[in-house]
Structure 1
Amino acid sequence: MNITIKFFPTIICQIPDHIRVTRSLLGDTGTVTFTFNNLKFLMDKLNNIHCLYQLEIRTDQHIYSTRDIRILWANGKPCVLQAVFFIHNRELFDYFFQNLQAFAFDKGLSFFQNEEYIENLGN
């Protein structure tokens, strides 16, 4: 499975520093938040970080896009960028999650779940 992360205007992206996946208790909706702490790759290619308007993730079969991009500033400079995806379909969420697991494995990233939370769901 192949995942490409791209900002618009067209900038192929680095690996995110952090990916947070949350899912509703029933499992039919969820969010995926990509966090980028090193924004040098963007600043080198953009004159103004304000012109970012979309993050797109392409898999083999689907294209996911979001316009929910948040930039956190410190001392007048952008320091953290977050892009939030809202997924409102169980099948799409399952497919996206499987692709994220494969992406993490291919890039040598650690992937873990909150076991305490999962154990509490069974009680």
Structure 2
Amino acid sequence: MSAKPINSILFVCLGNICRSPLAEGVFRAVWSECAQGREIVLDSAATSGWEVGSAPDPRSIAVAMGHGIDISGQRARRIAPGDFSRFDLILGMDRANVRDLKAVAPPSAADRIHLYLEFATGNGGDVPDPY
């Protein structure tokens, strides 16, 4: 039996203005170059509601633009209950994000919530919060 293909990924950090929008933007750019036409749903969200509606932090925008990626049009949003069924993979930027996600997720979603760097580097560390 093969694993279910991943057709949707949600990147999550505390405010959805630094780490998760940057991760979404980078993944979107890499995917567009490598996916050979295969569609994927990508989004990012926050575990808190502090920055809802805000644009990404200027530092994140600058880092992305330095690599030819424009994330300036993204707007912060808080994770919603429907996200746990909508996304095949939910990646928290740090252990606190993963803990907060698991605290509000239905039991059926627990196996889809992981630490971002488990997938990006295999080491399972935290992506530091610039704040």
TM-score, length basis structure 2: 0.27
Which one has the largest radius of gyration?
A: 1
Structure ranking higher in helix proportion: 2
